[in-house]
Structure 1
Amino acid sequence: MSTERIVRIVAGFFILLSLSLGVEGSPLFHSGNWLWFTAFVGANLFQSGFTRFCPLEIILKKLGIKETCR
């Protein structure tokens, strides 16, 4: 599995988790402040699309995970 794919999976999981914890209609609702985390993940994905800078990708590369699957 490539770093890009792992980043997408983790970001998607974090967004879904933070929405389930931050939206009042959710059975897992904890606090509306979790929506700030959703915004943070979305903003990080947005900026990484332009700058190609992603902290998780750097960590994964240091752990030895390949950048692409070829």
Structure 2
Amino acid sequence: MTIDRAVMMFAGFMVLVSLGLGFYVSPWWFLLTGFVGLNLIQASVSGFCPAAMVFRKLGCPAGVAFK
């Protein structure tokens, strides 16, 4: 699995978790969904993604977007 796919999977997982927590626990968890979305937008513009750096250190091979 490349870094690109790992970042997309992690972001999707975080969105689903925060939606579930927002629905069942507290609406404040929807802020996490917004944060994930903003982070995806800034990563697409700047190319800087903290999650990509973590996955790189974990040994994921480079993809197209994050090298």
TM-score normalized with structure 1 length: 0.85
Structure 2 match to 1:57: 52
Cα distance in structure 2, aligned partners of 1:63 and 1:10: 14
Task: State the alpha-carbon separation in 1 of the partners of residues 9 and 20 from structure 2.
Answer: 16
Residue 65 of structure 1 and its aligned partner are, at CA, apart by 1.1
* Identical-pair percentage: 41
Higher helix content, 1 or 2: 2
The offset of 1:21, in angstroms, is 1.2
Aligned structure 1 segments of 4 or more residues deviating by more than 6 angstroms = none
Q: Distance in 2 between matches of 1:58 and 1:50?
A: 16
Residue 27 of structure 2 aligns to a residue whose secondary structure is coil
Structure 1: any 5+ residue segments left out of the alignment?
Answer: 24-28
> Structure 2 CA distance, aligned partners of 1:18 and 1:33?
9
1:39 aligns with 2:34: yes
Q: Which residue of 2 aligns with 1:11?
A: 11
Deviations 1:13-57 (A, max 9, x none): 10011011113xxxxx10011001010000000100000110010
CA-based RMSD of the aligned residues comes to: 1.3
Between the aligned partners of 1:44 and 1:14, the Cα distance in structure 2 is 12
How many residue pairs get aligned? The number is 64
Q: Which has the larger radius of gyration?
A: 1
